[in-house]
């Protein structure tokens, strides 16, 4: 998913309902600023987050939003759902309707999985996080019904073939914390992947919690259901 970009003259033409010849004249008269800089080139590429001013009147001023949420079990990663509370519903008290409606979910968790969920209206950022080629890590804590052995570690490291999708999973890291508890690190997110991988050993997952994406860890001060805006440094760190 990529943010739609366009030429400056096309956007000004749409915003002001004038033809492109008129836009060229506006630029020649030094009347348009993009992100605080005087615009000179009609072919300048802009997007929905470009701040555009003409004659001291703001034509476009969309803001990027980056939100960390501690998702509880029983809440769905969806914008609407007829049966369950959604992650968007959890934002009602902190963010206005316009902001909530602009958001999409980065890396969904299923109904019975808790932990770190990211929401944004910046599709370039979310694409960077979810694109397989970037291999951004996702870290989970897993509780199992039965004890594990070292055979689990080797199987996760080798990858597992899923016949339904006709794919072999990317190598994953499995660190055994205790007989029935483990840390799993993935660089992809197949459908119910962790539960299916442990299912190869007929070992049911009792609890699953995502605590980190890339270099960004779930804020320990956030209780289940709480959220906060990411700091600028956190938005940048997610690229790791």
- Please identify every residue annotated as catalytic: 110
How many other C-beta atoms lie within 10 A of the C-beta of residue 30?
10
Contact 64, 121 (CB under 8 A): yes
User: 155: exposed, middle or buried (C-beta count within 10 Å: 0-12, 13-18, 19+)?
Assistant: middle
Distances (CA, A) of 59 to 50, 56, 109, 118, 142: 10, 9, 37, 29, 49
Q: What is the CA radius of gyration of the chain?
A: 23
Rounded-to-integer distance, Cα 30 and Cα 40, Å: 8
Contact 143, 126 (CB under 8 A): no
In our burial notation (b when 16+ CB lie closer than 10 A, e otherwise), range 4-20 reads eebbbbebbbeeeeeee
Residue 87, helix vs strand vs coil: coil
Residue 101, helix vs strand vs coil: helix
Which residue from 33, 36, 34 is spatially nearest to 55, judged by alpha carbons? 33
């Amino acid at each position: 998913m990529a943010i739609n970009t366009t030429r400056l003259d096309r956007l000004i033409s749409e915003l002001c309902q004038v033809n492109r010849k008129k836009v060229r004249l506006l630029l020649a008269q030094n009347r348009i600023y993009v992100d605080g800089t005087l615009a000179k080139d009609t072919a300048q590429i802009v997007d929905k987050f470009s701040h555009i001013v003409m004659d001291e009147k703001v034509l476009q001023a969309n803001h990027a939003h980056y939100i960390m949420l501690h998702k509880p079990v029983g809440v769905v990663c969806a914008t609407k759902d007829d049966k369950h509370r959604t992650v968007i519903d959890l934002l009602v008290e902190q963010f206005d309707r316009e902001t909530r409606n602009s958001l999409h979910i980065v890396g969904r968790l299923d109904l019975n999985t808790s932990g770190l969920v990211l929401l944004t209206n910046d599709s370039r950022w979310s694409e960077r996080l979810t694109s397989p080629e970037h291999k951004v890590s996702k870290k989970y804590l897993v509780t199992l019904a039965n004890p594990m052995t070292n055979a689990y570690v080797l199987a996760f490291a080798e990858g597992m073939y899923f016949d339904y999708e006709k794919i072999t999973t990317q190598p994953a890291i499995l660190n055994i914390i205790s007989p029935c508890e483990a840390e799993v690190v993935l660089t992809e997110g197949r459908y119910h992947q962790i539960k299916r991988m442990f299912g190869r050993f007929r070992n049911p997952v009792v609890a699953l919690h995502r605590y980190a994406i890339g270099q960004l860890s779930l804020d320990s001060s956030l209780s289940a259901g709480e959220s906060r805006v990411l700091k600028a440094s956190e938005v940048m760190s997610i690229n790791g």
